[in-house]
A and B are shown apart, each in its own frame.
Chain A
Amino acid sequence: MFLLGRVTYLLLRLARKKGTSLPGLLMWRWRKTLLSEWLNQLEQLIVVTGTNGKTTTTALLYSMLHDQDQPWITNQGGANLVQGLMAALSRHANWRGVLRVRKAVFEIDEATFPLIMERVRPTLMVVTNIFRDQLDRYGEIDHALSMIQKGIALHEASQLLINADDPLTAFLGRNRSLTYAFSMDKEAIASMTMVDSSEVRDGSFCLVCGHELHYDGFIYSQIGYYRCLHCDFTHPDAEFIGSPRQDASLVVGELSGLPGEPSTLHVDLTGMYNAYNLLCAYSAARIVGASPRRIQEGLRRFVSPTGRMQTFVGKQQSEITLALIKNPTGANGVLRAVVEDVQTYAICLTINDQDADGRDVSWLWDVDFESFVTRSNIRRYYCAGERALDMALRLYYAGVREEAMVIVEDLTTLPAVLFTLGQKTYVLSTYTALHRLAEWFERESEKRGNDLDE
Chain B
Amino acid sequence: MIWMSKLLRIVHLFPELLNLYADQGNIAVLAKRAQARDCEVSVQRVKLGDSLDLENSDILVLGGGSDREQAVVAKELMRYRADLLTAIEAGLPVLAVCGGYQLLGHYYELPNHEKISGLGLLDFITKAGNKRLIGDIAISWLDEAGHDRGETIVGFENHGGRTIHSYPSLGRVLRGYGNNGDDQLEGLQYKGVVATYIHGPLLPKNPHLADDLLQKALRYRYGESFSWCSLDDQLAMRAHQFLLNRTLSR
A positions within 8 Å CB-CB of B: 137-138, 140-142, 198, 200-202, 204, 210, 212, 359-366, 389-390, 392-394, 396-397, 402
Contacts and interface: CB of A to CB of B under 8 A. Distances in A.
SS of B interface (majority): mixed
B156 A362 contact: yes
Contacts of B134: 138, 359
B24 A365 contact: yes
Interface stretch (B84-92, B144-152, B173-181, B231-239): B231-239
Contact of B25 (A138, A210, A365): A365
B34 to A, nearest CB: 14
B200 A362 contact: yes
Contacts of A361: 156, 200
Contact of A137 (B20, B72, B136): B20
Interface in B9-35: 16, 19-22, 24-25, 28-29, 32
Given A140-B66, A366-B22, 17 more contacts: A140-B20, A200-B24, A201-B16, A202-B19, A212-B48, A359-B134, A359-B135, A360-B199, A362-B199, A364-B22, A365-B25, A365-B201, A366-B19, A389-B238, A389-B239, A393-B239, A394-B204
A82 B226 CA distance: 60
A397 B19 contact: no
Contacts of A363: 22
Nearest to A202: B19
Interface in B212-250: 235-236, 238-239, 242-243
B235 A366 contact: no
A396 B32 CA distance: 11
A393 B235 CA distance: 7
Given A360-B200, A362-B21, A389-B238, A212 B16 contact: yes
Contacts of B24: 198, 200, 365-366
Contacts of A397: 25, 28-29, 32, 204
A396 B205 CA distance: 12
Q: Is the interface of A mostly helix, strand, loop or mixed?
A: helix
Contacts, number: 74
A392 B239 contact: yes
Q: Which of A210, A363, A393 has the most CB of B within 10 A?
A: A393
Nearest to A201: B16
Interface residues of B, number: 32
A390 B242 CA distance: 10
A393 B19 contact: no
B236 to A, nearest CB: 6
Interface of B: 16, 19-22, 24-25, 28-29, 32, 47-48, 66, 68, 72, 132, 134-136, 156, 158, 199-201, 204-205, 235-236, 238-239, 242-243
Contacts of A202: 19
Contacts of A389: 235, 238-239, 242
A369 to B, nearest CB: 11
B135 to A, nearest CB: 7
Contacts of B72: 210
B128 to A, nearest CB: 14
7 contacts: A210-B72, A212-B47, A365-B25, A365-B204, A366-B19, A390-B243, A394-B204
Nearest to B22: A365
A360 B155 CA distance: 9
Nearest to B49: A212
A362 B205 contact: no
A359 B156 contact: yes
A383 to B, nearest CB: 10
A393 B204 contact: yes
Contacts of B47: 212
Given A359-B134, A362-B200, A362-B201, A393 B22 contact: no
B99 to A, nearest CB: 11
B242 A138 contact: no
A366 B32 CA distance: 17
A138 B29 contact: no
Contacts of A362: 21-22, 25, 156, 199-201
Contact of B205 (A200, A210, A359, A393): A393
Nearest to A402: B235
B68 A142 contact: yes
Contacts of A212: 16, 47-48
